[in-house]
Structure 1
Amino acid sequence: MALVPGSPEEANDLLTGSPEKTCLLDGSDSSDVDQGLLDDLELNPFDGLPYSSRFYELLKQREKLPVWKSKYVFLESLLDNQIVVVSGGAKSGKSSQIPQWCAEFCLSVNNRHGTVVCTQVQRQTAVWLAMRVADELDVNIGHEVGYVVPFENCCTNDTVLRYCTDEMLLREMMSNPLLSSYGVIIIDDVYELSVSTDVLLAFLRDILLARPELKVVIISPPGLSSKIVSYYGNVPLVEVESAYSAEVVYTSAIQRGYFHAALRLLFEIHHTQEKGDVVVFLACEQKPLTDFQQEARCRNPTMDPLSPLPLYPHQSLPNTAIRGAWTYGIVIDPRRKVVLTTMEFAEKDMKPFLTPKVEESNLTSMVLFLKRMDIAGLGHCEFINRPDPESLMQALEDLDYLAALDNDGNLSEFGIIMSEFPLDPQLSKSILAACEFDCVDEMLTLAAMVTAPNCFLDSAQEGDVTKPGDRRKFLHPAGDHFTLINIYREYETMKISNASEYDIERWCQDHGLNHTALEMARVIRAELLDTMKRIELPVSDPAFGSDENIMNIKKSLLSGYFMQIARDVDGLGNYIMLTHKQVGQLHPHSGYCLNQNLPEWVLFHEFSVAERSCIRIASEISPDLFMQLVPQYYFSNLPPSESKELLQKALDASAPPAPQDDCEDDVETEDEEQEQRCSVQ
């Protein structure tokens, strides 16, 4: 069969790169092609080695995926266009197969212009997909196929296809604004509507103009595809058939006891004895499983047993159905979807997709990044989802308070340094302040601990602190931040003592600690230390434990987190935020709750309305120290409150009496002192 240069058949020959039995564009079976052609394709084009038997086993599975039917339509579109939108439902194979085809495209003879990157919102998904695709391509993970997620890079210079989180690709843009090392950029997980993905979608419009050879693929759910096609100017759309159909059934009235309603429906489905699994999404963890087991014992004993498998996705909700289920309850199996709500409620009040994060998230980190990209001439972009104007203004105001902006509203030199750290701007500011207060070593440890996953195991989180060797031994009287430093220091001591991994894991288990989280904290701290050295910032020697060091750590924290202060207004643990007057309680896992000793004023790392309005990671702070370090223009803009009045009294009490004879000079001197006091701000 002759191949016409530039034809789809030539694309097939160049892009396949493996002995796959596939359907050619003319409808014939590739097994009918001359056997000599297949012999030429027996070597893996990614590593030059013969394929293993597992490759062929997985190939048979891949060919059954719904996306496989659209392979050559997609390749034609990619060959002839700069941007392609792929639309399809879940479990169609888009996230695993399309990046492979794009990698084959970049390896083909006529298209050697860079490698392939595919973004994901969740780091776990990026890692899993990279491992799966490496297996399917018959190569080693970390070589031809790899992944880049926060604080973990599993790639080499020879990596052809890399999966990464959307935020990591944004960080790469700070040093490579046009992403010139990539020939194909794939944006996946668009349905998550994350802030980072929205920023990438906006920047890619300018990057495509600057790089005509670049190819961009957007993988979208069907409901968003038309919006994306229009956003990029009516680009080609490849639609993938869905492998699953769903039947939606509504109740006649809202179910108040949604759990028991879902349970009844579950047993009704089970009673039909149809094959398949059932997934029930609920809002709580412990009680449903107990109730399920009790109910199951009362049902028909002749039926096959139901085996419950609890899964806890927590905040990582993959789609709108799951988010809705968190409130109303959903039962799903491969053939049907049953939503326990009325049709009227579903059509009127349930949104088809998640609310875009740029409309409801704190945008301070995003605005800092945009300001950084403005230096490269890419700061102005039109978002596919419009950010909330009030959130944008608040983000600009917060960056101004953190001294990240100059008088013209551009990124200051201080702001440029802050943007170098892969952290929240407030935490970056605290690390930079630690350079002045000579406690960098401790702040790097603390930054790593609050950035890593929660270091406490579930048993400890549930308040099980009665066994010997519990985490009370780590509690520090200065607060939760210092408790985290204590934990890390003891863990690090175990590591450098050459203790075996078994002993270290056993030590973690005995103290209710998460070994994986602590190991992640070590990795994060090492990367932060490398960043400090790269930009030539001073790193102090360890001094944890002295009164001076404790005070310096608090000063460093206040330099970044002065906007996160709360006061116990009634002595019962009801803390009111200084900024927005919301009320919250210390998290039950806080050392203050364990010791039943609640401070009046606290600086906190996180406040979560979703988690019963809890304040997480809090440390006591004095009004005097707060007033010493807070930017005055921030304090003057605080809304009137009892807390503000108390802080003003603390300031007035600490101010020296003004001499009667040269008031004008005193005012000038006071302004100079204030300017010096806020130099780190």
Structure 2
Amino acid sequence: MAHNTSGFSDGESVDIDDSSSLKGLEEVGEDFGFGDDLELNQFDGLPFSSRYYNLLKERHQLPIWESKQEFLNVLETSQVVIISGTTKSGKSTQVPQWCAEFCLSAQYQHGVVVCSQIQRQQAIDLALHVSDEMDVNIGHEVGYSIPLENCCFSDTILRYCTDDVLLRELMSDPFLEHYGVVVIDQAHERTVSTDLLMALLREVLLQRSELRVVLLSVMPASHMLLAHFSGAAHLQVDAPCSAEVLHSSRGSTESFSAALRLVLEVHRTKEPGDVAVFLASEQEVSCACSLLAKKASRLSSNLGELVPVAVCSGHAGICPPITQHPQRGRKVFLSCSKSEDMFWSVDTVSFVIDTGVEKRFVYNPRLRASSEVIRPISRCRAEIRKQLAGSAGKCFRLYPEETELCAEIPAQILEANITSAVLFLKRMEVAGIRHCDFISRPDPEGFMQALEELDYLAALDDDGNLSEIGIIMSEFPLDPQMSKALLASCEFDCASEVLTIAAMLSAPSCFLEPPAGKETEAMLCHMKLYHPEGDHFTLINIYNTYKCSQREPYFTQGKWCQDYFLCCAALQTADSIRAELTDILKRLELPISESAFGTKTNTLNVKRALLAGFFMQVARDVDGSGNYFMLSNKHVAHLHHLSAYGAKAHKLGLPEWVLFHEFTLSNSNCIQTVTQISPKAFIQMAPQYFFYNLPSSECKELLEHILDTEVAEIHPVTTDTPKAQESQSYDRCVIQ
């Protein structure tokens, strides 16, 4: 392995071949001309800095440090090691470093170390922190890989990455032969990607006896992991004394307001320390941040400054990292269930306020829709939150002590749309891994729905294996429907426009919630960007205008976005995603036509491409008042308030037939990102067997009448029998 060391004043680097990089410390020291009195870093051969020793003293104080030698001994003899410890035990920073030492001792014969994270920002923060502790250069010996950003070189020996990035790496390296140790951090969070990794790693371990897998978790979830990985070694890190826990005698119906009142009460006590507040959802976090900012501005200056800080993992790259916030005043970190582990580097929290509830989206395969569910958190999550307050802090639980909580965090794979996961598993079968042993096996109905959807999208052949189209679809980091639409856009000469749509829908929403009193101004600004053909075209309009504004001489970063109440970071993310998708199309040698946005032909082709992927998501306004009947599940929903049609309905009228991107079951059922389509275009693009499998309804009868009329016009002689009509309709309803 080539090992690159940098840090020379002239900017040059010295390349060391495989043999020299593995010399003893004395030989390396002689090569560089260092004296005998200097201790050299075993990873880059350079003398340690004084900062290294200062950080080493801090590392010795971590609860996990005492387990170092035991861990290395166990790693020598066990293929799987499970370590359970608290959030701040140091396992996420120290264990990967010890694994790097383990691989170095074997001269990297079996590979290097990779450590997966569930949050992209945490992968970056941990890589920066660990490179500092190891006294090496970020991007060289230690690096990170997250979606849209890679900070690694060929000589990187410890790599932090998100679990979805590592999962996609399995497609090209199915047995992870580049790695000697795979560390799965936050295994207790049970994301879909992490569960897939743990399921596939069991098969990989059978093929590679030299591979080591280390699972990092909290104690309540370790029993589940031990049951899955039979024979695994288990190390438990003793936690320091926990924070004092105070329960509320009332229920959690008014937990949001109670949490904000408690924040102000804590602040009035003038007791030192920051506050971490856990609410049900990111919407509540945003609302609480705004309300506390108003309250803080009216507080007496004698109490000191109160600084609300939103910590939302779902807006990675938009919410700044915790460590970048100002140090002044008392910070109130507002978060939800997705973000507990983002507090690993924060030592200033003395008070934790836990509402005890969380919003989750549970997918219903029969309806092909997600439902918003507010429910109690698990005991595992409650313990994680409590530990953030430290031994001298306080944890306020806004629910009675006798409240029944489930033991473990529910596995997302049991509640999510697993169509993308099934497509990935089909791709892994092509790569040679045909067995996947889930910790929690998804419901058979979810599997069948996913296979049916992939079949509709032509991703499977007649034997149920991945088709050529399916293989190409799996190359894109998109859901299968959007992947199919993107492939269809290459056929319909509108790839440039559909690339933009895919990028904008993959990035966080670009629409900002306007400040109080500016709702009308924000709506008027957004209306200037609305496109009469629908929301998908509005997204193209916004992106194109954003790119054009950058070329203006007076443009300053974020100024145009600020003027139009749009999120600059979201648009930057969309720009990066679009570039990545463009590179994939070029690598696959698929045609990318020049943009013809605005022409009649291009508009029709974009809608055809979208229908090629989203024909399962079509609805009709049955009464002209915005009650949209969905063909596939017979539910009725309304347009989202941000829809261009909703804003201009009084001028343009509501479209009768629409294609929509997302439908969520809630108190106010709504379909999001909708575009007007013609029923004829739907009939042309939907596969015949999907069309005839639609449940009976007035809308289906209307479509069948349109289809019969078209067939009669095209084949007036051969339409004498219903059987003949059925045969010709099959020719009309094909997957493009």
In the alignment, does 2:585 pair up with 1:585? Answer: no
Distance 1:388 1:241, change over 3 A: same
Report the alpha carbon displacement of residue 42 of structure 1 after superposing the two structures with TM.
2.3
Q: Distance in 2 between matches of 1:656 and 1:509?
A: 55
Count of aligned residue pairs for this structure pair? 643
Q: Answer yes or no: is the 8 Å Cα contact 1:403–1:415 preserved in 2.
A: yes
Report the alpha carbon displacement of residue 212 of structure 1 after superposing the two structures with TM.
1.1
Instruction: Identify the residue that residue 339 of structure 1 maps to in structure 2.
Output: 397
In the alignment, does 2:526 pair up with 1:471? Answer: yes
Q: Distance in 1 between matches of 2:287 and 2:204?
A: 51
Q: For 1:401, give the aligned amino acid.
A: Y
Q: 2:338 aligns with which of 304, 310, 317?
A: 317
**Residues 502-521 of structure 1: pairs in structure 2 closer than 5 A:** 503-521=556-574
Report the alpha carbon displacement of residue 491 of structure 1 after superposing the two structures with TM.
2.8
Distance 1:323 1:571, change over 3 A: farther
Q: Answer yes or no: is the 8 Å Cα contact 2:660–2:675 preserved in 1.
A: yes
Distance 1:313 1:655, change over 3 A: same
Q: Answer yes or no: is the 8 Å Cα contact 1:271–1:303 preserved in 2.
A: no
Q: For 2:157, give the aligned amino acid.
A: V
Q: For 1:554, give the aligned amino acid.
A: K
The Cα offsets for residues 141-178 of structure 1, whole Å up to 9 and x where unpaired, read as: 22222211222222111111111111111111111110
**Residues 48-197 of structure 1: pairs in structure 2 closer than 5 A:** 48-108=45-105, 110=107, 112-197=109-194
Report the alpha carbon displacement of residue 402 of structure 1 after superposing the two structures with TM.
0.4
Q: Distance in 2 between matches of 1:656 and 1:40?
A: 94
Matched residue of 2:339: which SS?
A: coil
Instruction: Identify the residue that residue 203 of structure 1 maps to in structure 2.
Output: 200
TM-score relative to the length of structure 2 = 0.79
Q: 1:560 aligns with which of 601, 609, 613?
A: 613
Greater Cα offset, 164-173 or 393-402? 164-173
Report the alpha carbon displacement of residue 514 of structure 1 after superposing the two structures with TM.
2.4
Matched residue of 1:656: which SS?
A: helix
Q: Answer yes or no: is the 8 Å Cα contact 1:317–1:323 preserved in 2.
A: no
Q: 2:706 aligns with which of 626, 646, 650?
A: 650
Matched residue of 2:357: which SS?
A: helix
Q: Answer yes or no: is the 8 Å Cα contact 2:497–2:595 preserved in 1.
A: yes
Q: Answer yes or no: is the 8 Å Cα contact 1:118–1:162 preserved in 2.
A: yes
In the alignment, does 2:542 pair up with 1:490? Answer: no
Q: For 1:318, give the aligned amino acid.
A: S
**Residues 268-307 of structure 1: pairs in structure 2 closer than 5 A:** 274-283=271-280, 284-285=284-285, 288=288, 304-305=303-304, 307=306
Greater Cα offset, 163-172 or 263-272? 263-272
Q: Distance in 2 between matches of 1:354 and 1:184?
A: 26
Matched residue of 1:552: which SS?
A: helix
**Residues 621-640 of structure 1: pairs in structure 2 closer than 5 A:** 621-640=677-696
Instruction: Identify the residue that residue 446 of structure 2 maps to in structure 1.
Output: 391
Q: For 2:72, give the aligned amino acid.
A: L
Matched residue of 2:306: which SS?
A: coil
Q: 1:380 aligns with which of 424, 435, 456?
A: 435
Report the alpha carbon displacement of residue 136 of structure 1 after superposing the two structures with TM.
2.2
Instruction: Identify the residue that residue 421 of structure 1 maps to in structure 2.
Output: 476
The Cα offsets for residues 186-242 of structure 1, whole Å up to 9 and x where unpaired, read as: 111212111111111111111111111111101111011122122111211111122
Q: Answer yes or no: is the 8 Å Cα contact 2:629–2:636 preserved in 1.
A: yes
Distance 1:679 1:595, change over 3 A: closer
Instruction: Identify the residue that residue 615 of structure 1 maps to in structure 2.
Output: 671
Instruction: Identify the residue that residue 531 of structure 1 maps to in structure 2.
Output: 584
Instruction: Identify the residue that residue 367 of structure 2 maps to in structure 1.
Output: none
Q: For 1:675, give the aligned amino acid.
A: D
Instruction: Identify the residue that residue 360 of structure 1 maps to in structure 2.
Output: 415
Q: Answer yes or no: is the 8 Å Cα contact 1:91–1:243 preserved in 2.
A: no
Q: Distance in 2 between matches of 1:151 and 1:323?
A: 34
Q: For 2:614, give the aligned amino acid.
A: Y
**Residues 208-227 of structure 1: pairs in structure 2 closer than 5 A:** 208-227=205-224
Greater Cα offset, 281-290 or 506-515? 281-290
Report the alpha carbon displacement of residue 69 of structure 1 after superposing the two structures with TM.
2.0
Q: Distance in 1 between matches of 2:580 and 2:424?
A: 19
Report the alpha carbon displacement of residue 512 of structure 1 after superposing the two structures with TM.
2.4
Matched residue of 1:341: which SS?
A: coil
Matched residue of 2:558: which SS?
A: helix
Distance 1:280 1:78, change over 3 A: same
The Cα offsets for residues 116-155 of structure 1, whole Å up to 9 and x where unpaired, read as: 1111112222222222222222223222222112222221
Q: For 1:613, give the aligned amino acid.
A: N
Matched residue of 2:114: which SS?
A: strand
Q: Distance in 1 between matches of 2:556 and 2:549?
A: 9
In the alignment, does 2:100 pair up with 1:42? Answer: no
Q: Answer yes or no: is the 8 Å Cα contact 1:90–1:242 preserved in 2.
A: no
Matched residue of 1:616: which SS?
A: strand
Q: Distance in 1 between matches of 2:675 and 2:504?
A: 15
The Cα offsets for residues 308-335 of structure 1, whole Å up to 9 and x where unpaired, read as: 5142527562369677266689996443
Q: Answer yes or no: is the 8 Å Cα contact 2:711–2:729 preserved in 1.
A: no
Greater Cα offset, 633-642 or 52-61? 52-61
Q: For 1:161, give the aligned amino acid.
A: L
Matched residue of 1:116: which SS?
A: strand
Matched residue of 1:59: which SS?
A: helix
The Cα offsets for residues 9-67 of structure 1, whole Å up to 9 and x where unpaired, read as: xxxxx99x99xxxxxxxxxxxxxxxxxxx967722233333333332332232222212
Q: Distance in 1 between matches of 2:577 and 2:189?
A: 26
Distance 1:461 1:630, change over 3 A: farther
Distance 1:140 1:455, change over 3 A: farther
Distance 1:198 1:610, change over 3 A: farther
Gap regions ≥5 residues in structure 1 = 1-13, 19-37
Q: Distance in 1 between matches of 2:101 and 2:656?
A: 62
The Cα offsets for residues 83-103 of structure 1, whole Å up to 9 and x where unpaired, read as: 111111111111111111111
Report the alpha carbon displacement of residue 469 of structure 1 after superposing the two structures with TM.
8.8
Q: For 1:337, give the aligned amino acid.
A: C
Question: Percent of aligned positions with the same letter in both sequences?
Answer: 49
Q: Distance in 1 between matches of 2:517 and 2:412?
A: 30
Distance 1:465 1:489, change over 3 A: farther
Matched residue of 1:241: which SS?
A: coil
Greater Cα offset, 86-95 or 468-477? 468-477
Matched residue of 1:589: which SS?
A: coil
Distance 1:679 1:394, change over 3 A: closer
The Cα offsets for residues 327-380 of structure 1, whole Å up to 9 and x where unpaired, read as: 689996443323222334x22xx2233221111110100000111111223132
Cα root mean square deviation, aligned:
3.4
Report the alpha carbon displacement of residue 396 of structure 1 after superposing the two structures with TM.
0.5
Q: Answer yes or no: is the 8 Å Cα contact 1:463–1:588 preserved in 2.
A: no
Q: Distance in 2 between matches of 1:538 and 1:635?
A: 30
Q: Distance in 2 between matches of 1:285 and 1:530?
A: 36
Matched residue of 1:476: which SS?
A: coil
Q: Answer yes or no: is the 8 Å Cα contact 1:463–1:589 preserved in 2.
A: no
Q: Distance in 1 between matches of 2:696 and 2:529?
A: 38
